Amino acid sequence: MRPLLLFAFPASLLLLQIVAAQMADLDLWGRLSVGAVLFQAGHLPRIDDFSYTAAGAPWIDHEWLTGVVFYGLLLVGEPALVLFKYAAALLALLLVFVLHGSVYRTSLVPAAWTLALLSPVLRLGFGTTVRAQVFSIVLFVLFLLMLERVRLGRSGLRALLGLLPIGAVWGNLHGGFVMGVLALGCYAAAEAVGGRIGRAAAHALAAAGIFVSVAFANPYGPAYLGFLLHAWTLDRSHIVEWRPLLDGFPALSFETAIAATAALVAAGLALLGIVGALRERWAALRERGGWSAIHAPERERLAGSLVLGLTVAMTLLAVRIAPFLVLALASYLPLFARRDPAVREAARQAGARSVAIPAWLHRPLGVWIPAAAAAAALVGLALQDRPLLRTLVPHEDTRGESLPKQYPLGAAEFLLASPSSGKLLAPFNKGQLLYWTLYPRFRVAMDGRYEEVYTQAQFREVHRFYRRRKTEPAEAVVGDAERSGADFVLCPSRWSAKPVLARSDRFDLVYDDGTFALLARTDGPGPLPRFEARAQGARRPPVTIATVFASGGGGRFAGYPRSAAGRLPNRSQ
């Protein structure tokens, strides 16, 4: 009972973070739009028809299969989507525990406490309702489990062949399959340093095989890999989740501060393992005994140390990789628990646990039973007013949510109620919801498909437009709005440039709910309905994902074009 209770307490805290921190992901609507085109039009979108700035541009969607999965789940019902998210998060955690319990044969308690303490970082990957990254997180841990089984001889080298079809499917779900390929590269390097060239070649061939299988097992062919290379070279510093981990240090958020702590610990362990392995390798060469003649724990740690170093480096470049770092750190803890592999093997053969629960953790059941009950009560209190199988979509009337998380549902309904159609300029992180609800009558200037259809210049132009300073001349603000070609401009109600545009003779303020506002060109399309503000105290009823998903019905995506005929010929217009 003691190990069970010791495990249950941190596990409950971990699940609390995953379940209680839900929000409707901003990218979800883009993924659903791809599924809607496939289900309603009968083909995948290969050119852009959702925007007016990149209309007709070639579109390679590295997450197309994710969109199909999400759309199919929501056809079943919103609970199916939420349950899928819970299952994915639970599977990632179970894979770590399987690695500890079945492969390393160690206690699960250290891993549970590590994941619980670092759970705010895991929320960066699982805190939203569901996103394409969850596939990469789960499959990355699966790769680590299989690679460790091969390294420790619990599976033969032929098991690496099983990674090829998994990698091919992963490549169609999310571009993060590259993390699995890089992990294979780390193991190949570790085997090469250890003098086992044949095993190193097997790992390298498996990595190359995944690239080849992805290149030919996707709807876009080898051009898919060229797109990924292009995407990895883009500047994403203006996108919050793609910023470097220490950007703005020392003013870090709570989550990024925890991620920085995890990165520091992981970097120390990685350095310990890499330096120790190289030192032992040098000593072996000097004594002409070869690597295999040195029975050192550093030899066992090298592959895990390289993977830890990889995830640390990637997290420093982009905070979005932090969940991979946390799971890798929790996975490889037993490699640094004992320094003598002979002792570990003897304990394994004797049927004992190779890492015992520390003596200070042994307490009477009278302590741990109340602790487990307190954890259960904590989960219950956090979830008492939150639907477990539905997700509320924050909108203009939602209080307590930051503006980046709120959706302009009222502005979208206002445009749908009008007889107008045209071009809509909006912040990029609102674009996918807007074309989900407004296509085909309205097309956006920018959305979250930054690397897929837009140029960096287009993204910077829209980003700069919404980052205007009060000191800029009014002529510059109005001129940029006109040059954007937009018929409507969506902006936050407190945007400093809104009064400037509203006072000009080129734009009229036609909608303002206190959170979002719409400005229309005076020479723009058709008459607009009169906006009537809600009565004081009146609010929109709660909106869930299912409600917004229903707005994409009616076959609105059935006319999505197969080719760029009749569309703008290039991305610079």
Distance from C-alpha of 491 to C-alpha of 382, rounded to nearest angstrom: 33
φ, ψ for residue 114 (rounded to 5)?
A: -60, -50
Lowest-pLDDT range, 14-18, 425-429, 463-467, 498-502? 14-18
For residue 225, give the H/E element and its range: helix 223-232
Average pLDDT of 196-223?
94
- d(CA 435, CA 403) in angstroms, rounded, equals 19
Q: How confident is the model at residue 300 (pLDDT cuts 50, 70, 90)?
A: confident
Confidence class of residue 361 from pLDDT cuts 50, 70 and 90?
Answer: very low
CB atoms within 10 A of CB 570: 10
Question: Is 322 within a domain?
Answer: no
Q: How confident is the model at residue 365 (pLDDT cuts 50, 70, 90)?
A: very low
pLDDT at 245: 81
Domain boundary among 210, 231, 252: 231
Residues 475-503 have a mean pLDDT of 89
**Model confidence, pTM:** 0.86
Confidence of residue 379 (pLDDT cuts 50, 70, 90): low
Q: Is residue 187 part of a domain?
A: yes
pLDDT score, position 161: 94
The pLDDT-based confidence of 347 (bands split at 50, 70, 90) is very low
Q: Retrieve residue 188's tokens.
A: 């190949």
Task: Please tell me the predicted confidence (pLDDT) of residue 172.
Answer: 95
Residue 530 pLDDT greater than 90, yes or no: no
Residue where a domain terminates, one of 182, 206, 231: 231
Structure tokens at 488: 């409507």
How buried is residue 342: exposed, middle or buried, by Cβ count under 10 Å (0-12/13-18/19+)? exposed
State residue 573's pLDDT score.
Answer: 33
Average pLDDT over residues 42-64: 93
Residue 14 has pLDDT above 80, yes or no: no
Strand partners of residue 422: 442
Domain count of the chain? Answer: 2
* Structure confidence at residue 375 (pLDDT): 58
pLDDT surpassing 60 at residue 395:
yes
Most confident of 235-244, 304-313, 377-386: 304-313
pLDDT digits (tens, 9 = 90+) for 491-526: 999 888 898 898 888 899 999 988 999 999 988 766
Angle between helices 78-98 and 2-20 (to 10 degrees): 140
pLDDT given for residue 470 in this prediction: 65
Q: What is the pLDDT of residue 107?
A: 81
Confirm whether 179 is domain-assigned. yes
Least confident of 89-98, 129-138, 237-246, 509-518: 237-246
Q: Would the pLDDT of 96 be above 60? A: yes
With respect to residue 166, please indicate whether it lies within any of the assigned structural domains. yes
User: Does 27 map to a domain?
Assistant: no
43 CB neighbour count, 10 Å cutoff: 12
Residue 165 has pLDDT above 70, yes or no: yes
Can you give the pLDDT at residue 339?
A: 47
| pLDDT of 111 over the 70 cut | yes
Please determine, for residue 439, whether its predicted confidence score (pLDDT) is greater than 60: yes
> Rounded mean pLDDT of 522-534?
72
Concatenating the DSSP letter of every residue in 533-560 gives: PPPTT--PPP-BHHHHHHTT-TTTTTT-
Q: Is residue 324 part of a domain?
A: no
Q: Lowest mean pLDDT: which of 269-273, 410-414, 476-480, 522-526?
A: 522-526
What pLDDT, on a 0 to 100 scale, did the predictor assign at position 115?
A: 83
Q: 363 or 189: whose pLDDT is higher?
A: 189
Averaged pLDDT of the chain: 81
Please say whether the beta carbons of 223 and 231 come within 8 A.
no
Q: pLDDT for 191-209, tens place per residue? A: 988 888 999 999 999 999 9
Q: Cα dihedral angle (80, 172, 151, 115), rounded to 10 degrees?
A: -40
Q: Which of 173, 201, 231 is the last residue of a domain?
A: 231
Using CB atoms within 10 Å of the CB of residue 166, give its burial: 0 to 12 exposed, 13 to 18 middle, 19+ buried. Answer: middle
Q: Which domain holds residue 457?
A: 403-542
pLDDT at 63 over 70: yes
Instruction: Please say if the pLDDT value at position 151 is more than 80.
Output: yes
Q: Is 266 exposed, middle or buried (0-12, 13-18, 19+ CB in 10 A)?
A: buried
Residue 121 lies in a domain: no
Nearest to 548 by CA among 426, 400, 443, 435: 435
- Is residue 529 a part of any domain in this protein? yes
Rg (CA), the chain: 26
Give the whole-number percent of the chain exceeding pLDDT 70.
78
User: 95-104, 140-149, 276-285: lowest mean pLDDT where?
Assistant: 276-285
Instruction: Give the confidence band of 31 by pLDDT, cuts at 50, 70, 90.
Output: very high
In this predicted structure, what is the pLDDT of residue 346? 47
Other beta carbons less than 10 A from residue 84's beta carbon: 17
Question: What's the CA angle centered on 158, arms 334 and 301, to 5 degrees?
Answer: 20
Is the pLDDT at 330 greater than 50? The verdict is: yes
SS (H, E, C) 263-281: HHHHHHHHHHHHHHHHHHH
- DSSP 8-state class, residue 570: S
DSSP output for 48-62: --SBSSSTT-B---T
Q: State residue 285's pLDDT score.
A: 66
Q: How far apart are CA 300 and CA 276, in angstroms?
A: 11
* pLDDT: which is higher, 290 or 231: 231
